[in-house]
Amino acid sequence: MRPSNRLLRLLILPCLLCLPWFLQSAEKPNVIVIMADDLGYGDVSCYGAKDFETPNIDLLASEGVRFTSGYCSASTCTPTRYSFLTGTYAFRHEGTGIAPPNGPLTIQPDTVTLPDLMKKAGYQTAVIGKWHLGLGEKGKGPQWNEELKPGPQEIGFDYNFLLPTTNDRVPQVYVENHRVLNLDPKDPLWVGDKKPSEDHPTGISHRDTLKMDWSHGHNGTIHNGISRIGFYTGGHAARFRDEDLADKWVEKSNEWIEAHKDEPFFLFFASHDLHVPRIPHERFQGATRLGFRADSIVQLDWCVGELMKTLDRLEIADDTLIIFCSDNGPVMDDGYQDFALEKVGDHRAAGPYTGGKYSVYEGGTRTPFITRWKGRIKPGVSDEMVCTVDIAGSLASLTGTELPEDSCLDSFNVMGALLGDADAKGREHLIQQDNGSKGNYGFRKGNWKLQRQDSKSARNVVVEKPLANMKVPQFQLFDLSKDPSESTNVIEEHTDVAEQMKQELAALIEAGRSRK
């Protein structure tokens, strides 16, 4: 335990008797949420991967709780991140699908967010890594050469060091607090969705020069030999090399943790791995036989190890709760020819589950989910259902912070389950969404899983096959206890269960909230 923390507890102890119950039970460990990008349930060795090793994530799991029913709330990035930070399902708000390069901030600054709650509890807060929640005002979007406001600092983060969109979307620059880092005013940054000039080199006009070819989309402006979604010019001094991103997240996180080691801190470590274009650092290229997709998982694992080492070095591992999760399920070909599919062999990225990124099958949202708090969490495996949307409500409860009635509308307090407490329950039901296409949901309750897919464009990706649009009935029912891969629709045999779940799903959507 940190000396400062120990002292604090000694000073506070005598006053405890006169405090309300929720403050009496407050605990304020540091919290690090490590969110991987596009990491599937079967993509790490402690969840069954056999073709490569993830020793650091495995260690985290062996020292903490490994959840078999850990979820993110959506099968794409922006809605999961939105609901993680707001504690409210993203489908309740328009404009929370995959954010474009010039998208404005998707979270309104007056929203009570997870970092707001942590600040209220006395924490220092930071987000380091992929953002992809937009920047700037509604109707205006990011003003790249000016102050990028509103952004993370306007919704509760004291510090941010960001990849502003995704690595496959322009521009390839870092944003530190309100500014593009190293931007030379003499070389302003322009970002748009149309070619700025006839002779602007793109992935189409200069395809033969690319170091990684595209397969669909991703044929706009070329940077670092890779063409991207969207177009940009300028900002040359500010541009990063894809190979260096992971090192940068670790470097900045270590600096920030070190600076705040004596106060409670909340760090959202938002890895870009293993989102496309998968370009791990040279030292990880070829680390596996499965190509850059799995090499990026090894790189992610290295990041986890570095963060754990930092906690050990600063002697704060016993004071730090780590939550490891993913933003959506896996995908093989997501727009670049990195041969993920050709080299996948027997590896099953979604483990036993069907579907992956973009899908409401289990593979879209059931992902690795691990909590570790040395000395506090008894190591084990939990089958309780927990979701990234619950982190806000759960941490509020842990830190004794009151949750305003009209905020975090779908965030359940599952702190007991997250800490692996015997008999503690996870959530009773979960609504799983895709990117936000109207009317596509998964609804899990106990071992039942109802799928409702109103949208004809539903993408039910079988991960190990190229993107495929399978036709599915509007409603399907599966018994996950017997059929985890959702292959036998039992809706005809269980019309009563299906009817009840249809109604409950509709009621939860209609009610605008699921937290009572």
Task: List interacting residues with Ca ion (CB under 5 A).
Answer: 37-38, 77, 327-328
Comparing CA positions, the residue from 199, 194, 205 lying closest to residue 227 is 205
Interface pick for ligand NG6 out of 117, 173, 229, 267 (rule CB under 6 A): 229
Site for ligand NG6 in 159-178 (CB under 6 A): 166, 168
**Residue 366, binding choice from ligand NG6, Ca ion, none, Cβ under 5 to 8 Å by partner class:** none
Q: Which is nearer to ligand NG6, 99 or 316 (CB)?
A: 99
Which of Ca ion, ligand NG6, none does residue 43 bind (CB under 5 to 8 Å by kind)? none
Per-position x/- string for 111-140, each x denoting binding to ligand NG6 as judged by CB under 6 A, each - no binding: ---------------------x--------
Residue number with CB closer to ligand NG6 (66 or 132): 132
Sheet holding 380-387, edge to edge: 179-180, 175-176, 159-163, 124-130, 265-270, 30-36, 320-326, 370-372, 65-71, 380-387
Name the minimum Å distance from CB 445 to ligand NG6: 26
C-beta of 101 vs 235, nearer to Ca ion: 101
Q: Which does 433 bind (CB under 5 to 8 A by kind): Ca ion, ligand NG6, none?
A: none
Q: Which residues contact 308 (CB under 8 A, 6 or more apart)?
A: 56, 59, 60, 317, 322
Mapped onto helix, strand or coil, the DSSP state of residue 59 is: helix
CB of 238 to Ca ion, least distance (A): 24
Q: Does 217 help bind ligand NG6 (rule: CB under 6 A)?
A: yes
138 CB-side CA count, 13 A = 7
Q: In Å, what is the CA distance from 478 to each residue of 431, 449, 483?
A: 15, 5, 7
CA dist 449 and 89 (Å) reads 18
* Least Å from the CB of residue 241 to Ca ion: 21
Q: Which does 134 bind (CB under 5 to 8 A by kind): Ca ion, ligand NG6, none?
A: none
Judged by DSSP in three states, 461 sits in coil
The partner in contact with residue 440, picked from Ca ion, ligand NG6, none with C-beta cut-offs of 5 to 8 angstroms by kind, is none
Instruction: Show the DSSP H helices in 400-457 as ranges.
Output: 415-418
Are the CB atoms for 171 and 239 separated by under 8 Å?
A: yes
Assign 3-class secondary structure to 184-211.
Answer: CCCCCCEEECCCCCCCCCECCCCHHHCC
**Which residue is it, tokens 């880092």?**
181
* Closest alpha carbon to 369 in 64, 143, 113: 64
Helix (H, G, I), strand (E, B) or coil at 511: helix
Q: Could you tell which of Ca ion, ligand NG6, none binds residue 207, using a CB distance below 5 to 8 A set by kind?
A: none
Among candidate residues 388, 376, 381, 390, the one with its CA nearest the CA of residue 514: 390
DSSP string, 232-270: EE--GGGBPPGGGHHHHHHHHHHHHHHHTTTS-EEEEEE
Residue 38 interacts with ligand NG6 (CB under 6 A): yes or no: yes
Pick out residues in 315-354 that bind ligand NG6 (CB under 6 A). Answer: 328, 334-335
Q: What is the DSSP letter of 358?
A: T
Count of residues touching ligand NG6 (by CB under 6 A) = 17
Is 216 or 236 the residue whose CB approaches ligand NG6 more closely?
216
Amino acid at 263: E
Whether residue 183 contacts residue 235, with contact meaning beta carbons closer than 8 Å, is answered with yes
Q: Which does 426 bind (CB under 5 to 8 A by kind): ligand NG6, Ca ion, none?
A: none
Residue nearer to Ca ion on the CB measure, 45 or 328: 328
Which of ligand NG6, Ca ion, none binds 216 (CB below 5-8 Å, type-dependent)?
ligand NG6
Q: Which residue in 31, 32, 276, 377 binds ligand NG6 (CB under 6 A)? A: 276
Token reading at 504 = 């409950």
Find which of ligand NG6, Ca ion, none residue 459 binds, CB within 5 to 8 Å per kind.
none
- Give the integer Cα–Cα distance in Å for 175 and 239: 11
If one asks whether residue 228 binds ligand NG6 (CB under 6 A), the answer comes out as: no
> Residue 74: which of ligand NG6, Ca ion, none does it interact with, CB under 5 to 8 A by kind?
none
CB of 305 to ligand NG6, least distance (A): 24
Q: Check residue 219 for interaction with ligand NG6 (CB under 6 A).
A: no
Q: At what angle do helices 292-313 and 245-259 cross, to 10 degrees?
A: 20
Q: How far is the CB of 116 from ligand NG6 (least distance, A)?
A: 24
Quick note: the x/- pattern for ligand NG6 over 75-114, rule CB under 6 A, is -xx--------------------x----------------
Q: Which is nearer to Ca ion, 77 or 317 (CB)?
A: 77
Q: What residues make contact with ligand NG6 under the rule CB under 6 A?
A: 37-38, 76-77, 98, 132, 166, 168, 216-218, 229, 275-276, 328, 334-335
